[in-house]
Amino acid sequence: MIDPFGRSISYLRVSVTDRCDFRCVYCMAEDMTFLPKADLLSLEELDRLCSAFVRMGVRKLRLTGGEPLVRRGIMTLIDGLGRHLKTGALDELTLTTNGSQLEKYADGLAAAGVKRINVSLDTLDSDKFTELTRWGKLDKVMAGLKAAKAAGLQVKINAVALRGVNDMEFDDLIAWCGDEGFDLVFIEVMPMGEIGEEARIDQYLPLSMARSQIQRKWTLEETDYKTGGPARYYTVAETGRRLGFITPLTHNFCESCNRVRLTCTGTLYMCLGQNDAADLRAPLRASESDALLEDAIRGAIARKPKGHDFIIDRRHAPAAVPRHMSVTGG
């Protein structure tokens, strides 16, 4: 699949649910209204959709949410999609999780063919963690990370850089990831969805500033390492681990975008930061054949925009994109 700008679309991110057992302050409001469960695609429908994309050239699948591991029966989907790894049609099946359910599912993920996972973790301070996630418990996530290591899963920690909240912990996070054998990626706050009283302009920390701060203590060596996602990686000389930066605002990565995002209701977003979308649920359910579905996918890819329009400043107080990240998929 080639978009209008010559980019090969080989990476599908699939939100299997908009629900989450956390309420992170930069992601969603505490009093969230989630989609009616009747609106969600069944696990069988999600498998059929993902398989169509694999057949059309997608080589990497990432399951997201919300929190993907709170979806009832999720291992049925993950086990099923693992068959594409066995045939060689798919290079990688992975997921992004908050870690709360990893202690339960780590062994099953490894058995299904998942090799590595991303775990969202913004602080190592237990009280601050509960404050940031509103409902989360750090010890539960740490137990999940221990289980992931025991299962042989490679772990990458995703930390959203928050001004005045965790910017004083960057050195601790780098050192801890070095000790644990984890890679680490810092991410800029993205202006998606209303989050209540929190103001993103107050949360926002440009990662150019964060990198300058980090380089006072750590030696960052250039590397050409890529995972298929938008992070730019360095190697931390003192730990030997990789450190990445995802900068949708200070330096967007749209020129090399190879991704599209599918929601749990069958809506395909060709760009995280744009509202144009394609309904894949209707053609999916219209016929047992995938011909209509494949036509709809091709039509959507033909509309993929050049890039996003994310802006954070006082003049753009409302969210740049009204839907929450948990709807589109993290």
Domain assignment present for residue 3? The answer is no
Position 4 in a domain:
no
Can you give the residue range of the structural domain that contains 228? Answer: 11-328
- Average pLDDT score over the chain: 88
Q: Where are the alpha helices (DSSP H) in 10-101?
A: 43-55, 74-87
User: What is the reported pLDDT for 25?
Assistant: 81
**pTM, entire model:** 0.87
pLDDT reported for residue 248: 66
Q: Answer yes or no: is 2 within a domain.
A: no
Say if residues 129 and 138 touch (Cβ distance below 8 Å).
yes
Residue 190, marked binder: yes
| pLDDT at site 30 | 78
Quote the tokens at residue 278.
Answer: 């394609």
Predicted confidence (pLDDT) at residue 75 exceeds the cutoff of 80:
yes
Per-residue pLDDT, 111:
98
Q: Is residue 240 part of a domain?
A: yes
Tens digit of each residue's pLDDT (9 = 90 or more) over 231-280: 899 999 999 999 999 986 555 557 778 899 999 999 999 987 778 899 99
Q: Is 156 annotated for ligand binding? A: yes
Q: How far apart are CA 27 and CA 22, in angstroms?
A: 10
Residue type present at position 287: S
7 is in an annotated binding site: no
Q: Say whether 267 counts as a known binding-site residue.
A: no
Do residues 121 and 159 lie in contact, with contact meaning Cβ atoms separated by under 8 Å? Answer: yes
- d(CA 115, CA 46) in angstroms, rounded, equals 21
Kindly state whether residue 5 falls inside one of the protein's structural domains. no
Q: What is the mean pLDDT of residues 11-34?
A: 87
What's the domain count of the chain? 1
Whether the CB-CB separation of 193 and 237 falls below 8 Å is answered with no
Name the residue with higher pLDDT: 225 or 118.
Answer: 118
Domain membership of residue 35 (yes or no) is yes
Residue 6 lies in a domain: no
Give me the CATH number covering residue 120. 3.20.20.70
Q: Is 261 annotated as a binding residue?
A: yes
pLDDT tens track for 295-309: 999 999 999 988 765
One-character DSSP codes across 255-288: GG--EEEE-TTSEEES-TT---EEE-HHHHHH-S
DSSP letters for 172-185: HHHHHHHHHT-EEE
